[in-house]
Structure 1
Amino acid sequence: MPISPFKLTDLEIQNFSPKNGEQLIADGNCLFVRVRGNSKSFRYTYTHHLTKKKVHISLGAYRKLSLADARIKTKEFNELRKQRIDPKEHWLSQTIYKNNNALVNFELLTRSWLATIESSLSEKYYRNIERAFENHLFVYIGSIRLEDITQSIIIDALRPLERQGKHETLRKLYLNIKKVMDFGVISGIIKSHALIYSRDVFTKPKPQLFPALKPNEIAELLSTTSNADLHPKTHSLFLWQLESMTRPSEACSVKWSDIDMKKKVWVIPGTKMKNRKEHHVCITDTMFSILHEMHAFRGSSDYVFPSFSDPGGHMNSQTVNSMLKRVGFAGRTVSHGLRALASTTLNELDYDRDIIEIALAHVDKNEVRATYNRAEYKKQRRLLAEGWSQIIENGRKGINPVEETW
């Protein structure tokens, strides 16, 4: 008797409960059951034959769609792939355009929009956007017809996020909802929509500043971290982030190819920057020493700080944050607070404020460069980097740059 390519049973699906968060259970032939809390649904996941990226298709909620029907749909999709027809594109075209747009609801339009942007985004970023719609919107308004979508319906659907204090998730989701509806108009699926994003609709979050140390605590920070039982990679990443004044995600993801040894510059691509603009960091002698130490861990990795667990990845952006908590700085500073420490210290020592802001990537260098000629601009950037590096070196010797005067 031939062995079935499928391995799950209805009973197994009914009884399965994830230990935490979200979990995918493989059934076979690219069919998965997605379990999140008490919610269970079918998902078809495959690799696009051209982009080589992972693509996900939500087939429907478990019970509303039976396991047998999900397997039938899976076989249909696999047959399409054998003919080099993309299942997601085919499914969307059949669902939306076949019925002359008459039966299109919010979820179907969103899936169509997601399919058009998927190839231009990283898999992780795409999945974050898709997951936000699945977790916070489809359950409330996914089945509502497009002509019935109003501003008040969208606002009511987003109120739970407001009550939970997830203001940034709410903001991003609302903007993406508007992009979905704009896509519907451009595609001719709907004639118009009346959605207008306004910050005044929802309560404004209270600004929260990152806790940061004072300049007269630099020596304590460096002494504590130097004497702690840390992995060399963790300590090096901490020093690199402190010296470079960069954000945690920028520091941990630096590649060897981003380093210009001749010009002594680290070039951070715009795709990694908060303002989406390329940023240059002057490499100091201390930073060169860190690069030399990290070369021993390089192996075949593209990253200066390779991951402990993923051979092709880099260290986690929360590594330094976790380390600071472990060595006793919980509540006193976080890894992002190292930038505030640098800014406060350099401003109190009367370094050029504009140059400090450029080094922190708070302002566009072109907005300030007009004040300096090219040679002077480079000189000021280098002097600031070397000055901050010397402050850190003095801190290692127990010398603080600014003693407390208040």
Structure 2
Amino acid sequence: MAKTTGRITDTKLKNAKPQEGEYTISVGDGLQLRVLPNGTKSWRTTYTSPETGKRAKLSLGTYPALSFSKAKQLNFEHRQLLAEGIDPRTKKAQEKEQQKALTEHTFINIASEWFKLKKTQVTQNYADDIWRSLERNIFPTLAQTPISQITAPMVIELLRPIEAKGSLETIKRLSQRMNEIMGYAVNAGIIHANPLTNIKAVFQRPEKKHMKAITPQELPELMQAIANANIKKTTRCLLEWQLHTITRPAEASNARWDELDLENEVWVIPAERMKKRKEHRVPLTPQMLDILEVIKPISGHREFIFPSDKDPKKPCNSQTANAALKRMGYGGRLVSHGMRSIASTTLNEQGFDYDVIETCLAHVDKNQVRSAYNRTDYLERRRKVMCWWSEHIEKASRGSYSVTGTVNIKLVV
């Protein structure tokens, strides 16, 4: 119940005593001082909301921290907003959101939220590469910038020096990642639109480069080069393992002993290590099992099949095979990922089923509807294909070049 005591002065407000129940002192123009039983005094303004037409109340602050004169000034400003048809409560909420956008919705904070989701969709190595690229090229300039203030010209200016260096592939990746972050901010309701849409159109396009690979007819030459190369046995086994299993460099180099189901002769690569985040089963051929026997004395007591030389508790680097190929004279001709191309071309030329070959390569069907209904991984059909491929490699090794030690195998013509 309001209590009015004539002309209100600062002294009267200070001397107002608490009572058993809450009461208010009306100052005028809707400004009131609430006095609580515990002695707390707080300002509020009462008004009719222009949005709802109902009576509304808005807290202003406690007294005497918010002085009498300051409270009257705030109340006057609110009356001015009401005269313009603006609800002071709505205005206050908007200002709070704006302040939050400046302090909490910085680019690095939103990028961090986006990255938490992104890293669940890609391999750990790729996730690390994404974050490093942002740390190196974007965060030094834009980390603390409110995401709502980021514009296309701002980002273009930031990326121009990278373009000038000729790092066009880096520009492409950064543009894509920046767009994903801004798209996340739009979907999260933090900003209304993505200002970086199609930003890559203002930069030179990188030339599309296919993974360097030799022809299937050059496989015997490769097997001879691997046999004669001055490389460690671990690296030699890794090269042949990747060639036989048709896996990607990181999938092969990070292989673990506990991923092997030797009873059923299957290598099960968990989803988190696969590019498409889908578990992949590789049928183990006799030649693959022979490679494991060769490497077992070196790493059988360890976690990783192909351990690092520097730290055997860790796997060898995914670039180990590439470095070996360069030393063998294949620089510019073949990269380790290109060995998958040799297998793909050979198997397709032999007329094996396309779907089975694609599953051997751990490719995901781009037709989402078809993929949703086709859940099989053709394991037993792939076992026959993989056995043929391993035998083909063995034949190409001319008998004495493979680490498996197979001899007297004829060449495939």
Instruction: Give the TM-score normalised by structure 1.
Output: 0.64
Note the residue ranges of structure 2 that are not aligned, 5 or more in a row.
Answer: 1-95, 400-409
CA distance in 1, matches of 2:297, 2:364: 36
Note the residue ranges of structure 1 that are not aligned, 5 or more in a row.
Answer: 1-96
Question: Partner of 2:85 in structure 1?
Answer: none
Shift of 1:189: 5.9
CA distance in 2, matches of 1:362, 1:113: 29
Shift of 1:236: 0.7
Return the letter of the residue paired with 2:112: L
Question: Partner of 1:262 in structure 2?
Answer: 263
Question: Partner of 1:109 in structure 2?
Answer: 107
Residues 340-355 of structure 1 mapped to structure 2, 5 A cutoff: 340-355=341-356
2:214–2:334 contact (8 Å) kept in structure 1: yes
Shift of 1:327: 2.1
Return the letter of the residue paired with 1:401: V
SS class of match (1:315): coil
Shift of 1:172: 3.8
CA distance in 2, matches of 1:370, 1:125: 29
Question: Partner of 2:295 in structure 1?
Answer: 294
Question: Partner of 2:393 in structure 1?
Answer: 392
Residues 147-162 of structure 1 mapped to structure 2, 5 A cutoff: 147-162=148-163
CA distance in 1, matches of 2:342, 2:227: 18
SS class of match (1:274): coil
1:238 aligns with 2:249: no
CA distance in 2, matches of 1:226, 1:337: 19
Q: Deviations over 1:196-227 (max 9, x none)?
A: 24653433321112222222222221122113
2:343–2:389 contact (8 Å) kept in structure 1: yes
CA distance in 2, matches of 1:369, 1:180: 28
Q: Deviations over 1:109-146 (max 9, x none)?
A: 31464268569859876654443333222444456554
Larger radius of gyration: 2
Residues 201-350 of structure 1 mapped to structure 2, 5 A cutoff: 201-298=202-299, 300-350=301-351
Q: Deviations over 1:43-102 (max 9, x none)?
A: xxxxxxxxxxxxxxxxxxxxxxxxxxxxxxxxxxxxxxxxxxxxxxxxxxxxxx999336
1:104–1:146 contact (8 Å) kept in structure 2: no
Shift of 1:388: 0.6
CA distance in 2, matches of 1:370, 1:109: 40
SS class of match (2:214): coil
Q: Deviations over 1:364-384 (max 9, x none)?
A: 49958979x979x44421111
CA distance in 2, matches of 1:148, 1:283: 55
Distance 1:116 1:262, change over 3 A: same
Return the letter of the residue paired with 1:153: M
1:109–1:184 contact (8 Å) kept in structure 2: no
1:343–1:356 contact (8 Å) kept in structure 2: yes
Shift of 1:245: 0.8
CA distance in 2, matches of 1:401, 1:311: 38
More moved, 361-370 vs 278-287: 361-370
Q: Deviations over 1:278-330 (max 9, x none)?
A: 22211100111111222212265221111111232101111111112222222
2:253–2:315 contact (8 Å) kept in structure 1: yes
Residues 42-81 of structure 1 mapped to structure 2, 5 A cutoff: none
Distance 1:323 1:181, change over 3 A: closer
CA distance in 1, matches of 2:364, 2:204: 28
Give identity over the alignment, percent: 36
Distance 1:160 1:286, change over 3 A: same
1:306–1:313 contact (8 Å) kept in structure 2: yes
Instruction: Give the TM-score normalised by structure 2.
Output: 0.63
CA distance in 1, matches of 2:126, 2:350: 40
CA distance in 1, matches of 2:353, 2:361: 13
Distance 1:179 1:215, change over 3 A: closer
Distance 1:326 1:131, change over 3 A: closer
CA distance in 1, matches of 2:177, 2:299: 39
Give the root-mean-square deviation of aligned CA atoms. Answer: 3.6
Residues 359-398 of structure 1 mapped to structure 2, 5 A cutoff: 359-364=360-365, 367=370, 377-397=378-398
Distance 1:305 1:200, change over 3 A: same
Return the letter of the residue paired with 1:110: I
Distance 1:168 1:104, change over 3 A: farther
Question: Partner of 1:27 in structure 2?
Answer: none
Distance 1:378 1:188, change over 3 A: closer
Distance 1:252 1:111, change over 3 A: same
2:124–2:273 contact (8 Å) kept in structure 1: no
Shift of 1:150: 1.6
CA distance in 2, matches of 1:238, 1:182: 40
Shift of 1:186: 6.8
CA distance in 2, matches of 1:255, 1:388: 23
1:100 aligns with 2:69: no
> How many aligned positions are there?
303
CA distance in 1, matches of 2:209, 2:115: 33
Return the letter of the residue paired with 1:270: A
CA distance in 1, matches of 2:124, 2:376: 39
